[in-house]
């Protein structure tokens, strides 16, 4: 083989690898989560002051456009469904590659979940790993989040998980090379919107916020129970593994002198979750960070479990989101964050704010109508 041939071989493979990478970005399953992450990558470097990390009680709960509209603070959520606390540090590191946030906000609902129980559907792990751009950090994230086959089998044989649906195990290499998973999405190649993800930077017009305009109310007795539960001052430890994760995160924040705020979004808590939040509160405060459990403040929030939720107590619709966002704004005000209103480079935030005004108005009207007429979301 001569030099020219070697060069040709390298070039052919290089083109192949690059195009395969870009193709995978296009093929990754489309949806809100993909738009949130690729939208984050599309943000200009060093323009985001607050990054919020957490699971599903983030993206429908807190509207970055509204926060900007009212305070000029630039916030962006890196949120995916059933996002395990294990993913928090990798996501922070991913953030720090392009942004210098002054504050990280962590939604802590998932700290109350048994790690093993979240293996039941590894598609949620893909929500994190398969929405990151290819990088060393992505490999590290996969190594951290994806159990080996034997580990997974051990977890699933735990009596605790006997009742859980069991995914077939997807080998770790299919996470590193996610084309193995997403090639069957080839039909999405017909969608121009997906081609915009070709470098995984697609501006998100709602800055990671997702409008929900359905209504799914709680029953009266459920609400009564919930209020009672929210008054509990008992303490129940969180799962051991999550406690380790929590300390790891807190130590990481301390070691890197990163400021953080921990919150719990208001929702229909089950089992001992309130008691678990009571358990982590002093731990977090011990590190000098603020911990705000909004489940202690239903009245201050004026949250209405009859009309503010779209899925029967789990996640808020836009009516609830406005209340939660208002509360978050009051919390953020204590951190002396700068206003970027009118500043150049933040035009897209101005646009998002305008869009939010319009869309939230429509959503509120729809919600009002549905509440009035008893039209509820599918359970």
Partner 1 sequence: MGATVTSFYFLCFLAGLLLLYYIVPKSIQWVVLMAGSIAYYLLSGNGILIIYPLLGSFVAFFGAYMISKDDKPKVYLFLTVALLIGTLFVLKYVNFISNTVNGIVGWFNVEPVLPTTSFLIPLGISFYTFTILGYVIDVYNKITPVQSNYFKFLTFGMYFAPVLSGPIMKYREDGEQFFKPHKLEYRNITFGAQRVLWGFFKTIVVSERTKLIADTVYNNPTEYQGVFVFLATFCYAFTLYSNFSGCMDIVLGISEMFALKLPENFSTPFLAKNISDYWRRWHITLGVWMKEYVFYPLLRTGFFTSLQKKMKDRFGKKKGKQYTTFFAMFILWFTVGVWHGGDWKYVVGSGLLHWFYIVMGELTLEPVTKILTKVHIDPKARWVDALRVIRTFLLACLGFVFFRANSFNDALILIKNAFSSFNVSRLFSVDIFNMGIDPIEFTIMLVSLALMIFISVMGQNGSVRDKISKKKLPVRWIIWYALLFYTILLGYYGPGFSASEFIYQGF
Point out which residues bind partner 1 (CB under 8 A). 1-2, 5, 8-9, 12, 15-16, 19-20, 23, 168, 170-171, 173-174, 177, 179-181, 183-184, 186-187, 189
- Cα–Cα distance between 143 and 152 in angstroms, integer? 14
Of 187 and 379, the one with the shorter C-beta distance to partner 1 is 187
Of 179 and 355, the one with the shorter C-beta distance to partner 1 is 179
Terminal CA-CA length for the chain: 65
Of 15 and 228, the one with the shorter C-beta distance to partner 1 is 15
Q: What is the DSSP annotation of 354-372?
A: HHHHHHHHHHHHHHHHHHH
Least CB distance to partner 1 at residue 5 (A): 4
Least CB distance to partner 1 at residue 181 (A): 5
Q: What is the largest CA-CA distance in the chain?
A: 80
Least CB distance to partner 1 at residue 173 (A): 5
Least CB distance to partner 1 at residue 1 (A): 5
Least CB distance to partner 1 at residue 17 (A): 11
The angle that helices 136-145 and 88-98 make with each other, rounded to 10 degrees, is 170
**Among candidate residues 106, 75, 74, the one with its CA nearest the CA of residue 89:** 106
Alpha-helical segments (H) within 256-304 = 273-286, 298-301
Cβ-Cβ contacts under 8 Å for 4 (sequence gap 6 or more)? none
- Cα–Cα distance between 314 and 275 in angstroms, integer? 18
Of 13 and 330, the one with the shorter C-beta distance to partner 1 is 13
Least CB distance to partner 1 at residue 161 (A): 20
Total residues found in the chain within this entry:
379
Of 19 and 193, the one with the shorter C-beta distance to partner 1 is 19
- The CA–CA distances, whole Å, from 161 to 110, 116, 155, 157 equal 17, 8, 8, 7
Q: Which residues pair with 261 in a beta bridge?
A: 105, 290
Task: Kindly list the strands in the beta sheet with 290-293, ordered across the sheet, starting from the edge strand earlier in the chain.
Answer: 75-79, 50-54, 103-107, 260-264, 290-293
- Cα–Cα distance between 112 and 97 in angstroms, integer? 29
Of 86 and 181, the one with the shorter C-beta distance to partner 1 is 181
Of 12 and 227, the one with the shorter C-beta distance to partner 1 is 12
Whether 82 and 124 have beta carbons less than 8 Å apart is answered as yes
CA angle 299, 304, 309 (to 5 degrees): 135
Least CB distance to partner 1 at residue 15 (A): 8
Least CB distance to partner 1 at residue 124 (A): 15
Least CB distance to partner 1 at residue 135 (A): 21
Of 2 and 150, the one with the shorter C-beta distance to partner 1 is 2
Of 184 and 257, the one with the shorter C-beta distance to partner 1 is 184
Neighbours of 34 (CB within 10 A): 20
Least CB distance to partner 1 at residue 97 (A): 29
Of 9 and 160, the one with the shorter C-beta distance to partner 1 is 9
Neighbours of 163 (CB within 10 A): 7
């Amino acid at each position: 083989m001569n030099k020219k041939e070697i060069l040709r071989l390298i070039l052919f493979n290089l083109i192949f690898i690059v195009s395969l990478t870009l193709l995978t970005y296009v093929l990754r399953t489309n949806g809100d989560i993909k738009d949130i992450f690729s939208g984050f990558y599309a943000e200009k470097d060093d323009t985001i002051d607050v990054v919020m990390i957490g699971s599903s009680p983030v993206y429908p709960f807190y509207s970055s456009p509204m926060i900007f509209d009212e305070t000029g603070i630039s916030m962006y959520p890196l949120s995916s469904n059933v996002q395990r606390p294990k993913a928090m540090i990798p996501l922070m590191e991913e953030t720090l590659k392009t942004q210098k946030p002054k504050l990280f906000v962590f939604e802590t609902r998932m700290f109350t979940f048994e790690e093993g129980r979240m293996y039941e559907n590894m598609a949620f792990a893909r929500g994190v790993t398969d929405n990151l751009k290819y990088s060393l950090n992505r490999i590290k994230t996969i190594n951290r989040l994806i159990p080996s086959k034997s580990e997974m089998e051990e977890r699933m044989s735990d009596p605790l998980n006997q009742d859980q649906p069991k995914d077939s195990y997807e080998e770790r290499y299919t996470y590193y090379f996610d084309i193995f998973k997403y090639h069957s999405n080839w039909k999405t190649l017909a969608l121009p919107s997906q081609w915009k993800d070709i470098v995984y930077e697609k501006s998100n017009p709602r800055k990671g916020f997702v409008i929900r305009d359905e209504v799914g109310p709680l029953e009266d007795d459920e609400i009564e129970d919930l209020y009672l539960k929210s008054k509990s001052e008992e303490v129940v430890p969180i799962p051991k593994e999550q406690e380790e994760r929590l300390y790891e995160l807190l130590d990481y924040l301390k070691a890197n002198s990163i400021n953080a705020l921990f919150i719990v979004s208001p929702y229909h808590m089950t089992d001992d979750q309130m008691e678990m939040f009571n358990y982590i509160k002093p731990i977090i405060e011990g590190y000098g960070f603020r911990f705000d459990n909004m489940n202690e403040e239903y009245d201050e929030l004026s949250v209405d479990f009859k009309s503010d939720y779209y899925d029967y107590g789990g996640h808020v619709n836009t009516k609830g989101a406005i209340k939660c966002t208002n509360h978050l704004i009051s919390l953020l005000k204590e951190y002396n964050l700068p206003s970027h209103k009118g500043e150049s480079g933040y035009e897209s935030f101005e646009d998002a704010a305008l869009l939010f005004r319009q869309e939230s108005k429509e959503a509120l009207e729809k919600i009002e109508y549905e509440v009035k007429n008893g039209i509820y979301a599918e359970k």
